[in-house]
Chain A
Amino acid sequence: MTEQELKSAVVARSVDARGTACPGPLLEAKKAIGSIVSGDIMEILSADEGTKQDIPKWCGKQGHEYLGAVEENGYFKVYMKKK
């Protein structure tokens, strides 16, 4: 998805993991995934650059769809869709 599409995507759950370093954001994402349903989009906010690589790996393993990442001022928004 393009940055524009990501920014306008309907997000079912936003996980603010900016207060935690690796592997915190992944752990926060795992804890939150149960609260959304299949097809829902979740965004993960992280100040940890590794999250941009880790979330796609997690999605790949679990079968979720990784949508992309957007860089904000000093942090990242990573988007994924639950399978």
Chain B
Amino acid sequence: MDMEDTQKTDIQALQTQIDALKNKIAQLEDARKDQLSIAVVSGDMDKILAAMVISIAAAAMDTQVKLFFSFWSLSALRDPKKTGEGKDVISKMFGWMLPKGQGKLALSNMNMVGMGPMMIKYLMKKQNVMSLETMFKEAGELGIEIVVCEMSMGLMGFKKEEFIDYPHLSYAGAATFVADAGESSIQLFI
């Protein structure tokens, strides 16, 4: 009889532990959304390319994608046909020195004064890899969100009116990235 009682208590204790674990798992499952957040900081062609390939693959798998563009990556959002008005001298200088648009980005390696990107673009075309321009178009259709870091936009002297026409473009600060990344199951820094 005594032994039966002990067994009962043991089973009850186990049951309590299992319930606690079940609750914990439910919490963990709720905490992270099926979402990918990338802080895109680099403005190198190869790194923007990597960010876009990963984002498109994620979006194709129905994962929500939020890209936070800041610093050098903002060059990739510049529309070569547009200009920003009312810039001071330093902002104008930045504007001249930084690549104007996706087509002008440099490679992080083997750039060779622009020869590298030309060769990569030739190879991409030959091997049917989507161009950066096509990737941004697909990204827009897939609902991939691009958030521009206001602070770095101001630092580099870029104006909103010189960015590309992208359907899901918004402007925010670092806290937005932290909040988005915090609820994403995948967070990357490129």
A residues contacting B by CB (< 8 A) are: 19-24, 26-27, 29-30, 47, 54, 57-58, 61-62
Contact = CB atoms under 8 A, between A and B. Distances in A.
12 contacts: A19-B128, A21-B129, A21-B130, A22-B53, A23-B56, A24-B128, A24-B129, A26-B60, A26-B61, A30-B60, A57-B61, A62-B62
A27 B61 contact: no
Nearest to B56: A23
B128 A26 contact: no
Indicate the size class of the contact surface on chain B.
Answer: 10 to 19
Chain A at the B interface: SS class? helix
A26 B57 contact: yes
B6 interface: no
Interface of B: 53, 56-57, 60-62, 127-130, 138, 142
B144 to A, nearest CB: 12
A27 B127 contact: no
A24 B61 contact: no
Nearest to B138: A27
Contacts of B130: 20-21, 24
Contacts of B128: 19-21, 24, 47
